[in-house]
Amino acid sequence: MITLNVNGKEHALDVTDDTPILWALRDVIGLTGTKFGCGKALCGACTIHLDGQATRSCITPVSLASGKKITTIESIGETEVGKRVQDAWLALDVVQCGYCQSGQIMSASALLAQTPNPSDEDIDNAMSGNICRCGTYPRIKAAIKNAAKA
Ligand code: FES
Ligand code: FES
């Protein structure tokens, strides 16, 4: 058994220590907003926050989340920065198919929480691991700048 704190709630889970957080979230807890893309930390679709740090949940075992706070796309809008990011995403119609966007928003929110006025280079560095097959990169960058100004 392991206890995970997810979005402010404690969950006692009957999973092995090496279970990736992604599968604990999706298959055991039932939070399916965090997406599976590559399973190898290459696409960013599975990005969550672990104590505020953008983290690839597909390769991070639940054992590393013990005693830490997990935040997912389901609750990022309850944070001040997350709300600004989501509002900017809506205002600029960032989303196309949507599959990558949970991860994009989680990476953008972690960036702005740590760097409130990011340069283009800061944005590129923070977002370079989040792949968007629909090519929404220009809108993502513009929305991050809008959220920083808001
Ligand atoms: S599914 Fe985790 S980085 Fe692609
Ligand atoms: S919006 Fe389709 S993959 Fe990014």
Phi/psi for 48 (5° steps) reads -130, 180
Residues 53 and 92 in one domain: no
CA of 1 to the centre of ligand 2 (A): 35
HEC string for the chain = CEEEEECCEEEEECCCCCCEHHHHHHHHHCCCCCCCCCCCCCCCCCEEEECCEEEECCCCEHHHHCCCEEECCCCHHHCHHHHHHHHHHHHCCCCCCCCCHHHHHHHHHHHHHHCCCCCHHHHHHHHCCCCCCCCCHHHHHHHHHHHHHC
pLDDT in tens, 19-46: 999 999 999 999 999 999 999 999 999 9
Same domain membership, residue 143 and residue 92: yes
Among the candidates 17, 42, 75, a domain finishes at 75
Q: Are residues 71 and 89 in the same domain?
A: no
Task: Output the CA 32–ligand 1 centroid distance in Å.
Answer: 14
Residues framing ligand 1 (Cβ under 6 A): 36-39, 41-46, 56, 58
Per the structure, the complete domain to which residue 101 belongs is given by: 76-149
Determine the pLDDT at residue 40. 98
Q: What's the CATH number where 125 sits?
A: 1.10.150.120
Q: For residue 141, what are the contacts with CB-CB under 8 A and spacing of at least 6? A: 120, 123, 127
Nearest CA to ligand 1 atom 3: 41
91 and 105 within one domain: yes
Considering the domain architecture, whether residues 61 and 106 belong to the same structural domain is answered as: no
Q: For residues 69-93, give the mean pLDDT.
A: 98
pLDDT digits (tens, 9 = 90+) for 94-119: 999 999 999 999 999 999 999 999 99
Identity at 78, one-letter amino acid code: E
How far apart CA 70 and CA 55 sit, in angstroms, is 10
Do residues 32 and 85 share a domain?
no
Average pLDDT over residues 120-132: 98
Q: 57 and 117, same structural domain? A: no
Which of 58, 75, 92 delimits the end of a domain? 75
Could you tell me the pLDDT band of residue 14, with boundaries at 50, 70 and 90? very high
What's the pLDDT score for residue 107? Answer: 98
Q: What pLDDT is attached to residue 146?
A: 98
Task: Among 75, 102, 117, give the residue marking a domain's end.
Answer: 75
Query: For ligand 1, what atom is nearest to the CA of residue 58?
Result: 2
Shortest-distance Cα residue to atom 4 of ligand 2: 132
